[in-house]
Amino acid sequence: SKLDDAGVPDIARALRSGTPPGAPYSLEDMAADCVGLLDALGVEAAHVVGASMGGAIAQIVAARYPERTLSLTSIMSTSSHPDLPSPSAEAAQALLAPLPAARDRESLIEDAIRRQLAVASPEYPSCPDRLRNQFTEEHERGFHPRGVTRQLAAFLASGDRRALLATISAPTLVLHGADDPLIPLACGEDVAAHIPGAEMRVIEGMAHDFPLALTDVFADAIAAVARRGRR
């Protein structure tokens, strides 16, 4: 299930050359996985929510499987159009930095915290202890760095989705932080501009994370678009 026989794409080389990395699977495949999960759970249709790369996958689910999508919430994501702004140098460095030489549990958790703090919301400081607990739970649930690289390759190789976004019919909310250094605000605005009837909501002081202080803001916004998508 780890797909280790698929190899590990060379992301840095692809970025230097300006060509998409070879990806052993695609965002379309991961969108199909989401629908497969709905099938396994016996869920006919769902309110689809995704953030960052997950936002791109959610967009594809809404476009390719409209009968399974009650509403769409795309958070801090992008259409992947090539003319959109790139990540800041600091955010890109945090994302693409190699893993620490020491691969013990504590070193990997500290590395994950450093990466997250590099894209954290300036108006809503992250609590290092809370991040440590979060990444500890994630590590214990399953940590597979080669899988992360393959997922990133799928995202970078996905290509422009503007035409696909135009086919989405579900009620849609696009949420984006005004201070996102990894996927700049213009990327979220482009998503909203290409989905018919989409609502765009910009959150001041938010970057590329989910500040605890904004939990109610996220929940209320998602609930509102979900109410519009009831059948």
For 137-189, give the DSSP string. HHHHH---HHHHHHHHHHHHTS---HHHHTT--S-EEEEEETT-SSS-HHHHH
Cα 62 to Cα 46: distance, rounded to the nearest angstrom: 10
* Residue position matching structure tokens 């765009």: 200
The lowest-confidence range among 7-16, 110-119, 129-138, 139-148 is 7-16
Q: Would you say how long the chain is, in residues?
A: 231
- Mean pLDDT computed over 194-223: 97
Is pLDDT above 70 for 25?
yes
pLDDT in tens, 141-167: 888 877 888 888 899 889 999 999 999
Q: Are 25 and 3 in contact (CB under 8 A)?
A: yes
Confidence class for position 116, pLDDT limits 50, 70, 90:
very high
The CATH fold assigned to 25-228 is Rossmann fold (3.40.50)
pLDDT in tens, 127-147: 889 999 999 999 888 888 778
Quick one: pLDDT at residue 164?
98
